[in-house]
Amino acid sequence: MTTPDRQVPGGDGPQLWVPSNAGVTFLRLFGRSLRFQSTEGPYAVPLAVPRLGMWLTFLAEQAERPGSSTLVAATDVLARHWATGQSALEDAHLAALLAWIEPPDGMTGAEAARAAENPIDHPPAGPATDPVFDRVELAPAIDACKTAGPHAVRQTRAKLEKLLRDQVTPTWDLMWRSIDRMRMLPPGASVASRWQRDLARCAQYYADLAADSRFPQAKRDGAVRAAKRLNELERLQDAFDADRALDDPLVMAEHRLEGEAFEGTVVRSEPHRRTGQAKRPLITVSTTDRIRFSLGEATLSCQRFPKQEAQIMSITDSADGRKVVLQLAGGMGQKTLPAEGSLPAVGEHVCYSKLRQKFRPRGDFPDKTQTPWTHGGPPPDPTKPASQNTTEEEQS
């Protein structure tokens, strides 16, 4: 993994798996509790402690970014690719979710999921633990370690270790089953580019920490930073939605059912049509999909022709569905006539939607010193008395 002038040892980046979103939340809170620990004074801790907290916070932040694979909740990725007969809340139980996906021989998914809810055979995946186990087995084992004599310490510790190992091993095995199950799926075309962006962010953060140019992340974002972060997450979500739909026909089918995309066959083409000096070919697509786009919609595109925009000129019902006439613009080369292969041909199967894999610029935001009063006003000026830092609204 590299930055323009730095390289991270190993040439790769981290990927952490946790059983569910509760694990992501735990890492975020654990990171916050560690990153502000002082390395000086009477309660000093080693530098590795706040550094670990900063890394855990960074990883938890990446989990909020749509499309990121740096910190992965197993239940999330499994539920995204397999449907069960459970509610979303029940799908958050890793053992039950996997039981639905791959039930043992002779059992249905529902029967296997019901059996997987037994905390004796399938202890909680954490971070919450089984209170019965804690009270009946764990607490006495810990007390025994505290009170054991010199000759019994090894035996009591071995018993405690076995208790804990028996609790975590089932979840460990479930995690590897989840990873193996995901490895059975072919990667989408956009996965590699998103992973490269993950590596770039990890490399930059590593380089900043190595140069001591990073302070612990703030407990709360200011108004401007929060707005920038929200804008970034929205842009990433739009891009991720487009990536998934263009990578997976089943995801695109959801958009087709909602009328946000349509698929069909080109039945007619006017490749030499022009409007003034501009090339504006027409194609007619026969489709059975429901269409909610309005006439003149000019933001449609086809994955096979990503640099080309399509505008709906007419929609007419037909015996076998409907006919959609599209006017095409762009992506046809610089010559007078469209370049060969730059237009959908008659008989070709096409899919048009508003989903596009393109760069979306970040919004414009004020400097933090110009924060609007509706969002708390600018940060206090440390050179002024507290009474002079109030806004006009606060004084009225």
> How do the pLDDT tens digits run along the chain, 396 residues long?
444 344 444 457 889 999 999 999 999 999 999 999 999 989 999 999 999 999 999 999 999 999 999 999 999 999 999 999 999 999 999 999 999 999 999 999 999 999 999 888 889 998 999 999 999 999 999 999 888 888 888 899 999 999 999 999 999 999 999 999 999 999 999 999 999 999 999 999 998 888 876 678 888 888 888 888 898 899 999 999 999 999 999 999 999 998 889 999 999 999 999 988 899 999 999 999 988 888 887 789 998 998 899 999 999 998 888 999 999 999 998 888 898 899 999 999 999 998 876 667 777 777 777 777 667 677 666 556 555 554 444 443
Residue 86 DSSP label: S
CATH topology assigned to domain 248-353: Elongation Factor Tu (Ef-tu); domain 3 (2.40.30)
Residues spanned by CATH 2.40.30 within the chain? Answer: 248-353
Collapsing DSSP to helix, strand or coil, 48 comes out as: helix
Supply the pLDDT for residue 381: 62
pTM of the predicted structure, to 2 decimals: 0.80
b/e sequence 116-151, b meaning 16+ C-beta within 10 Å:
beeeeebbbbbeeeeeebeeebbeebeebeeeeeee
Which distant-in-sequence residues (6+ apart) come within 8 Å of 294 by Cβ? 312
Angle between helical axes of 139-147 and 153-183 (0-180°, round to 10): 140
Residue 218 DSSP label: P
